[in-house]
Chain A
Amino acid sequence: MSSEQKILSTDGIPLEESLKQAEKKNKIKAFLLVTPLLLFLIITYIIPIADMFSRSIDDKMVTNMLPKTYKAMEQWDGKELPPEEVFKAFYLDYKILVENKTAGKLQTQLNYEKNGFKSVLKKLARKQKKFEEGNYKEQIMKVHKRWGNVDYWRAIKRRAPAYTYSKYLKGVDMYSNEDGKIVQVAEDRRIHRILWSRTLEVAFFVTLFCFLMAYPIAHLLATLPMKYSNLLMICVLLPFWTSLLVRTASWMILLQQQGLVNDFFVWIGLVTDDNRPEMMYNKTGTYVAMTQILLPFMVLPLYSVMKTISPSLMRAGKSLGATPGVAFFKIYFPLTIPGIGAGCLLVFILAIGYYITPALVGGASGTLISNQIAYHMKSTLDWSFASAMGLMLLTGVLVIYWIYNKLVGVDNIKLG
């Protein structure tokens, strides 16, 4: 029998076509049902991310301010001082900016590129009113001797492209220097790398603590008789139903130096009254509060997986001669891996982007990368940098997901 042969339906229409016809209506219905969600996702997720991305690489501001200059600069190789046309074009561009009173922005932007550019430009703005037509190169260089320094012209040229990845470099404490090479910032200014590694570290340990605490709880939940397990389940979920802010605030009450935990330590004589440990506004606070808040996200997937493991498997293991420990590690534990994977992935991804809790109880040494993003969103208003860091975080999460998929397999995830 050849596979080429077309199978016909009873009416003589090819079967495939007939099937398509029959299924068409259902497919359209199904699509219409998911359309609201699809639109919602596009509007609230895909578009903002695309916007973030374009914002993070957008560098059109300088490009648009100096259109003639960049046109003229196309021929310039950047080795020696640019020719007269470039000077002329720059003079004309700059004149318009000064007249429109928007020269300040250019001064700031170019000053980022080359320190001391601002004063040079300001001086030019004052002097160029008296410029005569022709021979702009000489006239400009007369205003300030730095105009004869090719570095300043290179600095202008570096801003020519409409797009830049400099924000991403800044996110990992690097920048491209005057020669266009990518180098690290001075050692005492490498704050972002510390934040990245701290974020990963906190996320890792919070995941670990959550796992160590959630595993026995989930096991208990899955094996206890119904009336006790329901009660325990409510205990697990109760904090889940409480506002995140309230929970974080209550941790502040508990953990502060005059707080309940410290009082208890003093009372049982673990520490002296004048030597109370600081458990908040540092990493300890972040660990404690985040572990507590993220715990249900570990318990629930574990529980849902453990619930499906028949108790007779452990019995079978024991009846076959395995000690309870061996039976646990050879039989029970491997069967819970889908739940462990789901729980760890969930907690890790949530922890890596956690914001409120570290902001409130983290202090200086307990803040994470998300706090830095928020800082740039709200305080410095450097949205393109915030976007760049946000996207780096998102990429990091996707990379973790990819690694996880390679190691455990996403098909093995069970979220319950």
Chain B
Amino acid sequence: MSKKEDFVKFDKVDKSYDGKVLVVKDLNLDIEEGEFVTMLGPSGSGKTTCLMMLAGFETPTNGEIYLDKNPISNIPPHKRGIGMVFQNYALFPHMTVFENLAFPLRVRKISKDDIDKKVEKALSMVSLSGFGNRMPGQLSGGQQQRVAVARALVFDPAVVLMDEPLGALDKNLRESMQYEIKHIHESIGVTVVYVTHDQGEALTMSNRIAVFNDGKVQQLSSPDKLYEEPVNSFVAEFIGENNTFAGEISDISNGSCKVKLDKGEIIANPISVKSIGEKTTVSIRPERALINPKEKMDNNQKGKIEEVIYHGDHTRVRLNLLGNSEFILKVPNSSQNLDIKLGNEINIGWNSHDARALDPK
């Protein structure tokens, strides 16, 4: 079976609630069949609005959304056949778990035997067999979440939408649910569109992540690319930790550039800069900068240690480097004996490839 590349397609979608402000601006997004795509962004970035438009609870102000090549703007939500998991689970409190799961099947007039089978299968998928007679109020948050997931999947929808489904759970439960949802996705191959503001969640679960800000998709790529190769400074800031230097391009050639800072100069990888004199923000991941590098690196600077925080598996070191007193290093907690003490001056090196010269903030 060949997978359809644009199974879900947002085509030039705009959305405004009040006719004054665009919440979503010119959104173009293709989602492959069977893919797990996460819409990630700060609150108010338009990601939930996009989900609601796909579910049919909001109508696009402009543009069209296609599901399997069919425009769906004029199809009411109940005919779209899209499963949805809501932020607060939205389980029907007056129905048992079984009735909750049977609801989408009953409205589709499926025979009683098939309903029993499907519900049983869905419950065992989320390891809740035997909970059918409980009321949702008698379940823990994690169990309610599983019921909500099972209910969104029980009628075999083509697409399942999840709107920050793990937001209300505590940290440990949230992590185990992330893996569980990921495994369910892998085993049944349904297309999932997931909304979250938690970058860790997005990185763990997704095939691809669309980073939203200000109503626009800033970057759409796989988790590793998003982290390693952010295309602009917003993405670099939003995903993971990040050290930045603001400066101006003084030379650019052969896939590398020189950036003049207030104090000193660094060699960087020009991503979104093209000419000399442009303002830029250089982004370096904390783990890419090494202390006392053994090999020769094209950036070598001295920094003064201002703060040391012990984190168990690693130590966070804050340095004052090239006038930036917020430069963070992550030093793995290995047997290697490094001279990390407050006030010491140490050598820091990184490759110009890992210093990405992005748009200025």
Which residues does A use to contact B, with CB under 8 Å? 310, 312-313, 315-324, 326-327, 330-331, 334-335
Contact = CB atoms under 8 A, between A and B. Distances in A.
Contacts of A315: 55, 57, 77, 84, 86, 90
B167 interface: no
Contacts of B94: 334-335
A321 B84 contact: no
B332 to A, nearest CB: 44
B279 interface: no
A321 B104 contact: yes
A324 B93 CA distance: 18
Contacts of A331: 92
Given A321-B108, A331-B92, A316 B78 contact: no
A318 B78 contact: yes
A331 B161 CA distance: 21
A16 B151 CA distance: 48
A316 B107 contact: no
Given A315-B90, A335-B93, A322 B103 contact: yes
A324 B56 CA distance: 13
Contacts of B103: 317, 320, 322, 330
B76 A318 contact: yes
B155 interface: yes
Given A315-B84, A316-B84, A321 B90 contact: no
A20 B57 CA distance: 57
B86 A321 contact: no
Contact of A323 (B57, B78, B82, B152): B78
B82 A319 contact: yes
Say whether chain A's binding surface is mostly helix, strand, loop, or mixed. helix
Nearest to A323: B78
B83 to A, nearest CB: 7
A64 B51 CA distance: 86
B83 A319 contact: yes
A271 B55 CA distance: 52
A44 B151 CA distance: 55
Contact of A320 (B88, B93, B151, B161): B151
A320 B83 contact: yes
B77 A312 contact: no
A326 B152 CA distance: 18
Interface of B: 55-57, 76-84, 86-88, 90-94, 103-104, 107-108, 151-152, 155, 161
Contacts of A310: 88, 90
15 contacts: A312-B86, A316-B86, A317-B92, A317-B103, A318-B57, A319-B83, A320-B83, A320-B104, A320-B152, A320-B155, A322-B78, A322-B103, A323-B78, A326-B107, A331-B92
Instruction: Point out which of B55, B56, B107 has the most chain A C-beta atoms below 10 A from its C-beta.
Output: B107
Contacts of B79: 321
Contacts of B83: 319-320
Nearest to A337: B94
B57 A320 contact: no
Instruction: Point out which of A318, A321, A323 has the most chain B C-beta atoms below 10 A from its C-beta.
Output: A321
Contacts of B107: 320-323, 326
A313 B151 CA distance: 13
B84 A313 contact: no
Contacts of B92: 313, 316-317, 331
Given A313-B92, A319-B56, 14 more contacts: A312-B90, A315-B57, A315-B86, A316-B84, A318-B77, A319-B83, A319-B161, A320-B78, A320-B155, A321-B108, A322-B104, A323-B107, A324-B76, A331-B92
Contacts of A319: 55-56, 77-78, 80, 82-84, 152, 161
A158 B87 CA distance: 76
A312 B88 contact: yes
A197 B78 CA distance: 47
Nearest to B52: A315
B102 to A, nearest CB: 10
Contacts of B55: 315, 319
A334 B100 CA distance: 14
Contacts of A334: 94
Contacts of B81: 321
Contacts of B91: 316
A313 B100 CA distance: 11
A335 B94 CA distance: 7
Contacts of A327: 78
Contacts of A318: 56-57, 76-78
A322 B79 CA distance: 8
Given A321-B108, A322-B103, A331-B92, A312 B87 contact: yes
Nearest to B108: A321
A316 B103 CA distance: 10
Contacts of B151: 320
A331 B93 CA distance: 9
Contacts of A320: 78, 83-84, 103-104, 107, 151-152, 155
A315 B54 CA distance: 13
| 10 nearest A-B pairs in the assembled complex, by CB-CB distance | A320-B104, A316-B90, A319-B84, A312-B90, A318-B77, A322-B107, A318-B78, A312-B86, A321-B107, A334-B94
A221 B93 CA distance: 22
Instruction: Point out which of A316, A320, A326, A334 has the most chain B C-beta atoms below 10 A from its C-beta.
Output: A320
A324 B87 contact: no
Nearest to B79: A321
